[in-house]
């Protein structure tokens, strides 16, 4: 399906006018991909209200960028100095030195931001780009949905391979290897997050990248996959029980899966966004697991592993705007928390498309 960049650009200009922004300065690969079709690292773009889109890339990348980018002008640089000085020249030519420029403040590190604002944009008014970029990228168009479906299928292939390989005596990193290999076979271009395989006591960790730990009988194993395909990513997590497991563990998993279903069911257009969180929390509370539960329970997903909408206080930490309502076109990873006890944790996470007809899951590996 072809991508309608003109329509993205027109919506961008409308938001720029609303926010009083003269130009967007983009360096985050996810935003470059969204605006130009080419999201390689070490590139930058300036997008103006007149729909000029000037991209700069390493000289050696010129030919390949021309294949995939819809930028109106493509420039080359041969060093980082040339990159930033060239950018200053562009601002000069376009008479934007004293304008309002939106920067990706949740991508620039604080050190680079300081260099940038004092040396490259000393006279400009600097604002955050995320009110514009997130407002656009939060609502997926149908070409994006096609990519996300493929990424969901890739993740399912990986989870099926992990499930086949799981048994006592195998190391976590071997399970990760089987899952990744199957996802590469299915066309994965990479990973938007580390592959987590966390067994036994490691499953109680909020973040559990695969380690050389050997999986043993009676353990819980969390497997968490985030492949990239066609430039898009999904989140998929499943918890496997290597029998014989304690009754408490099986009960916790059952309660979590039930709560996740309630969370997904709450993702309907017009509902309160934090209602997803509240639905899961209420369900776990009722099942007696309200205490070992880490929030928030969801986040947006798309070109990036974690993108708008980001819930509640988490939004501020991520330099994102608070979003009040669920809306059609959002794609959410729901179940991003878990029930944790001292020696184990259970979790399930799926990537879901919010539509007027109800939530549609892109990840479909069986839950039990």
Interacting residues with a copy of itself between 182 and 241 (CB under 8 A): 183-185, 187-191, 194-195, 201-202, 204-207, 209-212
Report the residue number, 345 or 359, with the smaller CB distance to a copy of itself: 345
Tell me 120's DSSP state.
I
Per CB under 8 A, does 316 bind a copy of itself? yes
Please check whether residue 353 is in contact with residue 359, taking contact to mean a CB–CB distance below 8 angstroms. Answer: yes
Residue 214 DSSP label: B
Residue 313: partners with Cβ closer than 8 Å, 6 or more residues away? none
Please tell me whether residue 37 binds a copy of itself under the rule CB under 8 A: no
> By CB under 8 A, how many residues form the interface with a copy of itself?
71
Single out the segment in contact with a copy of itself by CB under 8 A; choices: 6-14, 301-309, 337-345, 353-361.
337-345
| 81, two tokens | 């100095």
String of b and e for 235-270 (b: at least 16 CB within 10 Å)? bbbbbbbbeebeeebbebbebbbebbbbbbebbbee
User: How many C-beta atoms surround the C-beta of residue 81 within 10 A?
Assistant: 9
Q: How far is the CB of 183 from a copy of itself (least distance, A)?
A: 8
Residue nearer to a copy of itself on the CB measure, 54 or 204: 204
Instruction: Provide, rounded to whole angstroms, the least separation between the CB of residue 171 and a copy of itself.
Output: 8
Q: Is 71 helix (H, G, I), strand (E, B) or coil?
A: coil
Interface with a copy of itself in residues 269-298 (CB under 8 A): 292, 294-295
Q: Is 353 in the site for a copy of itself (CB under 8 A)?
A: no
The minimum distance between CB 349 and a copy of itself, in angstroms, equals: 16
Residue from 99, 130, 222, 283 in contact with a copy of itself (CB under 8 A): 130
Which stretch, 78-86, 216-224, 237-245, 360-368, contacts a copy of itself (CB under 8 A)?
Answer: 78-86
Among 313, 324, 358, 368, binds a copy of itself (CB under 8 A): 313
180 is an interface residue for a copy of itself by CB under 8 A: yes
Q: DSSP secondary structure string, 257-322?
A: HHHHHHHHHT--TTSBTHHHHHHHHHHHHHTT-STTB-S--EEE-SSSSSBSS--HHHHHHTT---
The single residue among 19, 37, 49, 106 that binds a copy of itself, judged by CB under 8 A, is: 106
- 92's CB contacts (< 8 A; 6+ apart) are none
138/183 with CB nearer a copy of itself: 183
Coil, strand, or helix at residue 4?
A: coil
311 binds a copy of itself (CB under 8 A): no
């Amino acid at each position: 399906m072809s991508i309608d960049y003109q329509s993205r650009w027109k919506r961008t200009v409308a938001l720029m006018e609303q926010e009083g922004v003269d130009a967007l300065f983009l360096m985050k690969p996810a935003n470059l991909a969204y605006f130009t079709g080419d999201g390689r690292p070490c590139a930058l773009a300036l997008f103006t209200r007149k729909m000029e889109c000037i991209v700069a890339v390493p000289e050696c990348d010129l030919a390949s960028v021309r294949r995939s980018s819809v930028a109106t002008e493509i420039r080359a640089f041969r060093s980082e100095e040339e990159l930033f000085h060239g950018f200053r020249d562009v601002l000069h030519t376009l008479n934007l030195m004293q304008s309002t420029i939106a920067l990706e403040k949740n991508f620039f590190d604080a050190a680079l931001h300081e260099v940038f604002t004092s040396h490259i944009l000393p006279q400009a008014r600097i604002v955050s780009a995320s009110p514009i970029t997130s407002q656009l990228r939060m609502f997926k168009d149908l070409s994006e949905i096609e990519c996300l479906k493929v990424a969901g299928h890739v993740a399912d292939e990986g989870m099926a391979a992990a499930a086949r390989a799981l048994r006592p005596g195998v190391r976590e990193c071997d399970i990760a290897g089987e899952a990744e290999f199957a996802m590469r076979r299915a066309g994965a271009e990479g990973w938007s997050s580390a592959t987590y395989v966390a067994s036994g006591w490691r499953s109680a960790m909020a973040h559990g990248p695969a380690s050389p730990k050997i999986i043993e009988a009676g353990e819980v194993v969390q497997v968490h996959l985030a492949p990239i395909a066609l430039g898009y990513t999904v989140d998929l997590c499943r918890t496997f029980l290597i029998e014989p497991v304690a009754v408490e563990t099986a009960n916790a998993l059952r309660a979590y899966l039930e709560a996740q279903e309630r969370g997904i069911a709450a993702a309907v257009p017009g509902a309160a966004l934090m209602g997803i969180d509240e639905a899961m929390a209420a369900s776990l509370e009722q099942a007696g697991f309200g205490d070992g539960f880490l929030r928030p329970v969801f986040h947006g997903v798309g070109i990036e592993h974690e993108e708008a909408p980001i819930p509640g206080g988490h939004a501020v930490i991520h330099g994102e705007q608070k979003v009040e309502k669920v809306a059609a076109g959002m794609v959410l990873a729901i179940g991003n928390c878990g029930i944790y006890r001292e020696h184990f944790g259970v979790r399930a996470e799926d990537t879901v498309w919010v539509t007027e007809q109800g939530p549609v899951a892109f990840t479909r590996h069986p839950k039990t």
